Structure 1
Amino acid sequence: MKNLPLIDLCVIFLYLLTMVFVGAWFSRKNKSADQFTKASGSIPGWAIGLSIYATFLSSNTFLGVPGKAYGGNWNAFVFSLSMPLAAWVAVKYFVPFYRATGEVSAYTNLEKRFGPWARSYAVSCFLLTQLARMGSVFFGIALSLQALTGYSMELIMIVTGACIIIYTVMGGIEAVIWTEVVQGVIKTLGAVLIIYLIVTNMSGGVSKIIDIGKTDHKFSLGSFKLDFTQASFWAILLYGFFINLNNFGMDQNYVQRYHTATSEKEAGKSVWLCVWIYLPASLLFFAIGACLYAYYQANPVLIEPVKLRAAAERLSSNASATEIAKMAATLQPADYGDKVMPYFMVTKIPVGLVGLIVSAILSAAMSTISSGMNASATVFSEDIYKRYINPNLTGKGQLRLLYIATALFGLLGMFTGVAMIGVKSVLDIWWQLSGIFAGGMLGLFLLGMMSKKVGNQDAIIAVIVGVLVILWMTFSYLIPDDYAFLRYPLHVNMIIVVGTLVISLTGTLLSKRKRN
């Protein structure tokens, strides 16, 4: 890491070494698949709640949210406002359901409800969602560390990914949860430190930041009109509710944690603890974006290197300095928002503290990726390998499979991150991909829970209709201008909302028609 002083390198190295040590420590307990995937139901609710919070607070939040707020406003914060309602539904219905089944996989019950096809479909959606999530997180951390080290994003992903794979494979879900407890604290303190440094460097302090933010509408939550063709307040609120319901209600990352709790009550408490911590924490990251915007508006010369770099990335490698400068002059804040916080870290954070901030960013990424690796390996083991390849796999064979699958999904996540290099906004790309992959899965789950009279054939037709609608919504922008009226008219974040409703309502209506 050639651009970082030795003291910062030592802090980062110590953090990475500690994470690997934690994995080695908990590896002593991993004598069975139940311990690797459920921690034998021995984790207290408060620790699970902090680990869920840490999973939510990924590097997409740490870097993407300030970048989003810098380039726009606080519209995306509405996503967080939807969490309490989604959590209430999950705690009331989903947590008791999963605890009662005792199945470590969130998708096993779908086979009992609709047949093997439903389970396989949901598993496919989940694994694609996890690859998109892990890839976007790998991309986010590489984007930040590249600004600090000068190394390529590919190399950064490989080095950090290797550390994550080691401690996740060794320690299992218990190592994931307890490292996330530490990581949740580190990343929150890192955010507080960043906002403190911005304010202390800002001439005029908080009042000046607020004045600039008000003038440029940086604190807006979006339009309150019932307009779903743009990112209005209501569009983001609906999107957030469906995504968070998907997270709390049927995402293996969270469902698996419910089984690690000592009781159903503790599992429910963990969900609410996550919500009440995440709400103010996410607001803190939006505040960072607004503060950075005000700081560079008051000091426009300081942001020029970022604009020039963003312009150079948009042009060919042999572009002249004049061409780059002309391009830079046309860029809007949204075009380089993701690069602003790493740049501030490089130029304004004192030696010694940079290592702490980098560790916070690393922790933000590592918690999400390690959780995704463990959950994906569990689903692969339970819903694919044991279901279709070797149903009799037990004992050491199952534990060996979990080790291999965990490492494999870590590598796939890295490759996905490499493929995302060059995207405009890490938060946007994650939101779009998660909405596409999760829509059909959530619709099928709700269909199974809303009515016990919906049959297998009704569900198959509903999913086929829903997938076709989701594909149309996703790719209709490719339709020629002569047939523009056939394009999907709503905002891209509404894909999960429409897809979910189409599947659940189609299946319900088909079952009612049969009864009549």
Structure 2
Amino acid sequence: MQGFTIYDFIILVVYLGAVLVAGLFFAKKDMKGKEYFKGDGTIPWWVTSVSIFATLLSPISFLSLAGNSYAGTWIMWFAQLGMLIAIPLAIRYFLPVYAKLDIDTAYHYLELRFGSKALRVLGAVMFIVYQIGRMSIIMYLPCMVLASLTGINVNILILIMGIIAIIYSYTGGLKSVLWTDFIQGSVLIVGIIFALVYLMSNIDGGVGAVFSSFWTEHKFLAPDQPIFDANLLRDSVFLMVFGAGLNTLGSYVSSQDIVQRFVTTTDTKKLNKMMRTNGILSIGLATAFYLIGTGLYVFYQQHPLPPAAAQDQIFASYIAFELPVGITGLLLAAIYAAAQSTLSTGLNSIASSWTLDIQSRLTKKEMSFEKQTKIGQYVSLAVGIFSIVVAMLLASGGITSAYEWFNGFMGLVLGILVGIFILGVFFRRANACGAFAGFAASTIVMIIVKYYATNVSIWSYSLISIAVCLAVGLPASWLYNKATGKKTDAPKFTVYADFRKGLKTEERLAEVRDAAAGGMA
């Protein structure tokens, strides 16, 4: 057990410096206004796809997913299969609408659909609250792990991470963020594959011993784990897949940090490639993480435990004490730097949402591109400092599984928000009154569920909030129309039905043109 050596420390410092230089290199073009928030149109779809993967999974997955299967079973792995629900739904029903409208932010859609600036501002505020919580977790977790392995004070590590992330976001805008995300995501993919192969080759019995533990020690699923429960408020494999699918759908369609990547292009073919590639990467790498976790369980039955063996630190401890010198420094640096990159994504998405959704709605005069950019930079700086403080507070507390805690938080906040998007995309007669009523009702219900109904599964949060939003929002829209004598109709191409009609018409015209061309030939 060599631990974290001076050579690893040197590699860590050099790697972080190289990533910072790369981020500043992609920031060398002076982009202003929407270019700062949406990119300049030169970012390849595969870069954006890896960036989505890195944004959703990076440091939380690298540490927490392996810890879950090490300490327990693969039950949390089924949450990754929720992407098989979320991705097809997003591709079919939401992305075509977003591409057609060429929206600036996720909440720009709400204004276009419901004709309400207030609803756009409300959506942005909810996202900012969610994103600050997410960024704080992403700062807290890898810094706690690295502190225990290196002896460096956790608050110093959080401070360094925050400062570098602020530099990315402040100077380079979305283009710099996407490219640094791509670099970090690529290093993480290579690193996880290397770690998996190295681990399996050092287990007595290899892969066979790991799979044997699935059955002999129930490391895949506990014997009493229900596959399906008719009560959708209680934990089951089905609820985990379905609930996680709704959580992920909420990220794809209503979370600005992800939607911000979609608005870099209006090409639906590129958008679909982004989504499918992201799904393959996410499910594939999640499976590798869980194999590593179970592999670590078998490995440490055959070898002494490392000094830091807490659930969310077990994989990083293996990296520090078992991998070759140099590889240890590179992988720990990748975890740390990936957190920085994801943090810079959050800062940039908050800056874009505040500037375009809130500041521009509250300012009567139209803002110049220069002023938009300057406001975005100031917001990045302020939110970055605030997130550093929150991460330090989290580091002084205790969270058994950051991944599970985060999914509960995401289901609570984004579940409330995504209900409004579903109301808008699927129901033509829904109006702003119904959207506000649905939002208010689901918020009240979810606060009660979160803090008073302790026996309700976190995986049902999105399901409950969406159901309440629709159950209240649709009747409220109807009552408003009855009371005012108005007949609400959604603007063109803001609902999926309109888009499909338009698409079918275009397809029929194309077929007619092709047939005519064939006849003439």
Q: Report the TM range for the smaller structure's normalisation.
A: 0.7 to 0.9
* Residues 388 and 514 of structure 1: CA distance in aligned 2, closer, same or farther (over 3 Å): closer
Deviation at 1:460, TM superposition (A): 2.3
Asked if the contact 1:82/1:240 (under 8 Å) is kept, the reply is yes
Residue 264 (structure 1) shift: 2.7
Question: How has the CA–CA distance of structure 1 residues 456 and 164 changed in structure 2, closer, same or farther, with 3 Å as cutoff?
Answer: closer
Q: SS at the partner of 1:443?
A: helix
TM-score, normalised relative to structure 1? 0.87
Q: Which residue of 1 aligns with 2:449?
A: 473
Counterpart-to-counterpart distance in 2, 1:370 and 1:14? 20
Map of 1:143 onto structure 2: 144
Report the AA paired with residue 497 of structure 1: L
Call closer, same or farther: CA 1:74–1:41 in 2, change over 3 Å. same
Indicate if the aligned counterparts of 1:183 and 1:363 stay in contact, CA closer than 8 A: yes
Q: Is the 8 A contact 1:138 1:414 kept in 2?
A: yes
Name the SS for the 2:103 alignment partner: coil
Aligned partner of 2:43 in structure 1 is 43
Alignment partner, residue 318 of structure 1: none
Matched, 1:459 2:428: no
| Preserved contact between residue 90 and residue 249 of structure 2 (Cα < 8 Å) | yes
Distance 2:260 2:147 in 1: 34
Q: Does 1:415 align with 2:389?
A: yes
Amino acid in structure 2 at the alignment position of 1:155:
I
> Cα 1:463–1:262, aligned 2, differ >3 Å: closer, same or farther?
closer
Whichever residue aligns with residue 275 of structure 2, its letter is V
Indicate the residue corresponding to 1:435 in structure 2: 411
Specify the alignment match of 2:10 in structure 1. Answer: 10
- What secondary structure sits across from 1:392 in the alignment? coil
Q: Relative to 1, partners in 2 of residues 1:212 and 1:89: Cα closer, same or farther, differing over 3 Å?
A: closer
Give the stretch that moved more between structures: 127-136 or 343-352: 343-352
C-alpha contact 1:213 1:219 (8 A) present in aligned 2: yes
Distance 1:457 1:259, change over 3 A: closer
Give unpaired runs (5+ residues) of structure 2.
483-521
Does residue 448 (structure 1) correspond to residue 424 (structure 2)? The answer is yes
Please give the TM-score of this superposition, normalised by the length of structure 2: 0.86
The one-letter amino acid of 2:461's match is I
1:261-340 mapped onto 2 (5 Å cutoff): 261=265, 263-299=267-303, 301-302=304-305, 305-306=307-308, 336-340=310-314
The one of 498, 501, 504 equivalent to 2:467 is 501
Identity of aligned residues (%): 25
Query: Partner amino acid for 2:390?
Result: T
- Residue-by-residue CA offset, 1:176-205 (whole Å, 9 max, x unaligned): 111122111100111122223322332232
Q: What CA distance in whole angstroms lies between the structure 2 residues aligned with 1:465 and 1:424?
A: 31
Quick one: distance in 2 between partners of 1:463 and 1:395? 32
State the shift of 1:281 in Å: 0.8
Give the Cα–Cα distance (whole angstroms) in 2 for the partners of residues 6 and 149 of structure 1.
10
Unaligned segments of structure 1, at least 5 residues: 308-335, 477-486
* Deviation readout 1:449-469 (Å, 9 max, x if unpaired): 221212332222222211110
Aligned match of 1:164: 165
Mark the CA change 1:347 to 1:92 in structure 2 (over 3 Å): closer, same or farther.
Answer: same
* Cα distance change on mapping 1:10 and 1:234 into 2, 3 Å: same
Equivalent position to 1:350, from 324, 329, 335:
324
Residue 260 (structure 1) aligned with residue 226 (structure 2): no
Partner Cα distance (2:266, 2:439) in 1: 36
- Pick the aligned partner of 1:402 from 367, 376, 379: 376
RMSD value, Cα? 2.2
Question: How far 1:212 sits from its partner (Å)?
Answer: 2.6
Q: Structure 1: how far apart are the matches of 2:265 and 2:135?
A: 25
Could you tell me whether the CA contact under 8 Å between 2:117 and 2:361 is conserved in 1?
no
Conserved? CA contact 1:42–1:261, under 8 Å: no
**2:180 partner amino acid:** T
* Contact 1:239/1:496 (<8 A) preserved: yes
Instruction: Please identify, of 5-14 and 179-188, the stretch whose mean Cα deviation from structure 2 is larger.
Output: 5-14
Cross-structure match for 1:321: none
Structure-1 separation of matches of 2:21 and 2:480: 59
Letter in 2 for 1:399: T
Tell me if structure 1 keeps the 8 A contact 2:253–2:421. no
8 Å contact from structure 2 (residues 416, 469) kept in 1: yes
After TM superposition, the structure 1 stretch with the greater mean CA deviation from structure 2, 73-82 or 372-381, is 73-82
Structure 2 counterpart of 1:242: 246
Structure 1 window deviating more from structure 2 (149-158 vs 503-512): it is: 503-512
Cα offset for 1:214? 2.4
Q: Per the alignment, do residues 149 and 390 of structure 1 end up closer, same or farther by CA in structure 2, a change over 3 Å counting?
A: farther
Task: Specify the code of the residue in structure 1 equivalent to 2:263.
Answer: H
Residue identity matched to 2:197: Y
